[in-house]
Chain A
Amino acid sequence: MRFRFAALRVIFASAGAAIWLSSVQTAAAQSNDPDILAAYAYRYADYYLPYAIQSSTAYKPVGTLNTMRDAGLGEEVDYAVQNAIPATQEDLRGYARKIFKPWRYQFGSESYLTCLDPADEACKAAYARRGWDFGSGPTYQVWARTRAAARSSCSEVSIAFRGTVGLSGGDWYSNLSRFGSPYDDYYKQLQRNVDTIMKQIQNLDCYKRAARKPQIVSTGHSLGAGLAQFVALATRSGGPRIAKVLAFDPSPVTGAHLVNKALLTENVQGLVIDRVYETGEVLSYARAAVQEYPQARSRCNPQVRTVEVKAARGSSIGLHGIELLATNLADLTYNEGNSLGYRAPVTLVGGCDVIYRPDTDEQLIVRGGNQREVGLRRVYARSAGRLVATNQANPALRAGVTRAGFRQPNGESGTRMATGPAANAFALAAGGLPSFTPLPRAE
């Protein structure tokens, strides 16, 4: 009888301790200090929305997109928007359509990756050493942002990776790749094929026709975001690199453990990773606890930026969906029917140079120019008065320096300066320019 009572006490004491510890962990996770606070996310919604739409469309069959591409009518734009934003939000679909218009689907894959280039000896050697396979592989779709002035060339190419599809064993084993997997999971399949994918991108017509080399970025949702980070870390040296990763609700697994240290060090130079998520989504706690390299606090090489969107309530799992995030981003791009315009987050943070430069394509500028002024006028009218009133002695703020999420190199949070009331209020911070006059429409 003594045994039973003793065991019972210990078990219930453990239970109490576990519950207390889990609540402490949650509190710790919630105190995470993101680079772009939720309150300021609307400023960059226009910038992030196309990538969210691509990440959402990655869940749809590649074959459908191939058919639309071959038709050459640009139907994939509508298709992608319809998949990202529910039918009940027709007005938001309209906004999203305008923003996503320059993008065109190029190619993709949803099958098991052996070696995309049969002549790639390194890939063949890696394939020979592979673990068990499931017959399934990473799904990715490559999109290109066409230039307004010259539709045949592109300014940016994006690889969008799909997240977990319910009952795919390959997807779930890839999610657990961090713990060592005997399987030929998606990270390993991509590792041996990433350079061929980069070559395929370089062979795109729009890429070859571009006067200035298009930037290559990667994006994805959840598992897809983990894979997007991985390809940026694993691209072999010598060829073009991924300039930026836009990771939505990312998995804590980045696959960095598979990449050798020298290559990792090379690939993170100047790399930017934006981790965008809805506040409280299920993986935010996992990232706080078991995030694989690079950590969220990494300020340089790579520069990791956390972008928190707080536009919904619900369960942590309900908040994890990309459809929800894309819809909220679309909603944030407009204020009472007026576009808030395009603005990219600052690229030069804390003296850390990066290879990524936001797109300065004229169509984006035209779309974001005058409309932005109208849309932002009301928003800034509310916040500007308050900021000026509380920061009278702050010349930097009065000068209108935008440094959302700026942190001091010593790790302390710098003053989280909101956009200044005057000069920068309606400026377009594309390409790091402090102010901009919209160009006339090119078409």
Chain B
Amino acid sequence: MLLVVLPFLPELVILLTSLFAGLSGCRPASDAGCPIGTSAAEIIRRSLDAGFVVGSRFGDGLAVLWLAACCWLITLGWARLWSRLLLAFAVSLVCAFVPYFGPMLSISHLVNPKCSPNEGGVGDCIVYGGDVGGAAHQVVGLGWRILEGAPIAIGIFVVYAVVAVVTDLRARRQALRSLG
């Protein structure tokens, strides 16, 4: 569980920051800064940068190792075939979409007339009195990396499923033979 959540810490930080900012009476469209830590805008900007790095690395191939590690842990932790396959499928789905769309979705509630993130990198993005434009525009472009990330995730799941099914069948046959 921790392994699944770990890559998405930046998104969690953004959500928590905006939650605290909201509780403190700050508004995303406001020109005034929001004094949470250094500033809410700065935390969000750095978190977006971190989310961008995670998504980029996943698209570069880290997703393969991360999914392999998850599959390995699933194999160790669950004995029944269907449990393993269902869990692996869920983790693959998460890996196929969230690293690329997660950072963008995490700022969806912050979009305001002064902040319209776009893949062209056009215009500023003022949130809680600070400009997070560069980072916000970049995470929109990150969405395109799903074209690399989704096939990787689906591919790893298919390989894992085939191996798990074949091995399970062999184990059953051997068990039957030993009984017979």
Which residues on A are within 8 Å of B, measured CB to CB? 3-4, 6-8, 10-12, 14-15, 18-19, 22, 55-57, 59-60, 83-84, 162-167, 172, 175, 221-223, 282-283, 285-286, 289-290, 315-318, 320-324
Report whether B71 and A324 are in contact in the complex, using a CB–CB cutoff of 8 Å.
Answer: no
Interface positions, chain B 135-165, Cβ under 8 Å from A, are: 136-145, 147-148, 152, 155-156, 159-160, 163-164
A286 to B145, CA, bound (A): 9
Report whether B121 and A14 are in contact in the complex, using a CB–CB cutoff of 8 Å.
Answer: no
Is B104 on the interface with A (CB-CB < 8 A)?
yes
Report whether A22 and B61 are in contact in the complex, using a CB–CB cutoff of 8 Å.
Answer: yes
Report whether B163 and A7 are in contact in the complex, using a CB–CB cutoff of 8 Å.
Answer: yes
Name the one of B52, B64, B107 contacting A15, with C-beta atoms under 8 angstroms: B64
Is B120 on the interface with A (CB-CB < 8 A)?
yes
Is B83 on the interface with A (CB-CB < 8 A)?
no
Report whether A285 and B119 are in contact in the complex, using a CB–CB cutoff of 8 Å.
Answer: no
With a cutoff of 8 Å between Cβ atoms, the chain B residues found around residue A162 in the complex are: 118, 120
A110 to B68, CA, bound (A): 44
Report whether B147 and A165 are in contact in the complex, using a CB–CB cutoff of 8 Å.
Answer: no
With a cutoff of 8 Å between Cβ atoms, the chain B residues found around residue A222 in the complex are: 119-120
CB distance from A77 to the nearest CB of B (A): 16
With a cutoff of 8 Å between Cβ atoms, the chain B residues found around residue A285 in the complex are: 148
CB distance from B170 to the nearest CB of A (A): 8
With a cutoff of 8 Å between Cβ atoms, the chain B residues found around residue A289 in the complex are: 147
Report whether B120 and A11 are in contact in the complex, using a CB–CB cutoff of 8 Å.
Answer: no
CB distance from B107 to the nearest CB of A (A): 8
Report whether A163 and B118 are in contact in the complex, using a CB–CB cutoff of 8 Å.
Answer: yes
Q: List 28 A-B contacts (CB under 8 A).
A: A3-B171, A4-B75, A6-B163, A11-B71, A11-B156, A14-B64, A14-B68, A14-B159, A15-B64, A18-B64, A22-B61, A22-B152, A84-B122, A164-B140, A165-B116, A165-B117, A165-B119, A165-B140, A166-B108, A166-B116, A167-B105, A221-B119, A282-B141, A283-B144, A315-B138, A317-B52, A317-B144, A324-B121
A221 to B107, CA, bound (A): 23
Is B72 on the interface with A (CB-CB < 8 A)?
yes
A4 to B77, CA, bound (A): 11
The total of Cβ contacts below 8 Å across the A-B interface reads 137
Name the one of B123, B136, B156, B168 contacting A83, with C-beta atoms under 8 angstroms: B123
With a cutoff of 8 Å between Cβ atoms, the chain A residues found around residue B72 in the complex are: 7-8, 11
Do most interface residues of chain B lie in helix, strand or loop, or is the interface mixed? helix
Most-contacted residue by chain A among B65, B68, B136, B168 (CB, 10 A): B68
Is B76 on the interface with A (CB-CB < 8 A)?
yes
With a cutoff of 8 Å between Cβ atoms, the chain B residues found around residue A317 in the complex are: 52, 56, 138, 141-142, 144-145
With a cutoff of 8 Å between Cβ atoms, the chain A residues found around residue B139 in the complex are: 166
Report whether B122 and A322 are in contact in the complex, using a CB–CB cutoff of 8 Å.
Answer: yes
Is B32 on the interface with A (CB-CB < 8 A)?
no
Of chain B, the residue at the smallest CB distance from A10 is B163
Q: Which 6 A-B pairs have the closest CB atoms?
A: A321-B121, A166-B117, A317-B141, A59-B122, A322-B120, A166-B140
Do most interface residues of chain A lie in helix, strand or loop, or is the interface mixed? helix
A283 to B65, CA, bound (A): 24
Report whether B75 and A172 are in contact in the complex, using a CB–CB cutoff of 8 Å.
Answer: no
CB distance from B72 to the nearest CB of A (A): 6
Report whether B119 and A7 are in contact in the complex, using a CB–CB cutoff of 8 Å.
Answer: no
CB distance from A18 to the nearest CB of B (A): 5
With a cutoff of 8 Å between Cβ atoms, the chain A residues found around residue B121 in the complex are: 320-324
Interface positions, chain B 63-106, Cβ under 8 Å from A, are: 64-65, 68, 71-72, 75-76, 104-105
Name the one of B61, B68, B118 contacting A12, with C-beta atoms under 8 angstroms: B68
Query: Do A166 and B144 contact each other (CB < 8 Å), given the known contacts A3-B167, A11-B71, A15-B64?
Result: no
A12 to B72, CA, bound (A): 10
With a cutoff of 8 Å between Cβ atoms, the chain B residues found around residue A286 in the complex are: 144, 147
With a cutoff of 8 Å between Cβ atoms, the chain B residues found around residue A84 in the complex are: 122
Extra pairs beyond A59-B120, A221-B119 (19, CB < 8 Å) = A4-B75, A7-B164, A10-B163, A11-B160, A14-B156, A14-B159, A22-B148, A56-B120, A56-B122, A162-B120, A166-B111, A167-B108, A172-B143, A175-B143, A223-B119, A317-B141, A318-B141, A320-B119, A323-B122
Name the one of A11, A15, A166 contacting B118, with C-beta atoms under 8 angstroms: A166
Name the one of B111, B123, B171 contacting A59, with C-beta atoms under 8 angstroms: B123
A55 to B122, CA, bound (A): 10
Q: What string of 1s and 0s marks CB contacts (under 8 Å) between B5-18 and chain A?
A: 00000000000000
A316 to B122, CA, bound (A): 17
Most-contacted residue by chain B among A14, A289, A290 (CB, 10 A): A14
A4 to B152, CA, bound (A): 22
A322 to B121, CA, bound (A): 7
Name the one of B122, B155, B167, B168 contacting A60, with C-beta atoms under 8 angstroms: B122
With a cutoff of 8 Å between Cβ atoms, the chain B residues found around residue A60 in the complex are: 122-123
Report whether B56 and A164 are in contact in the complex, using a CB–CB cutoff of 8 Å.
Answer: no
CB distance from A330 to the nearest CB of B (A): 15
A292 to B167, CA, bound (A): 40
CB distance from B80 to the nearest CB of A (A): 13
With a cutoff of 8 Å between Cβ atoms, the chain B residues found around residue A56 in the complex are: 120, 122
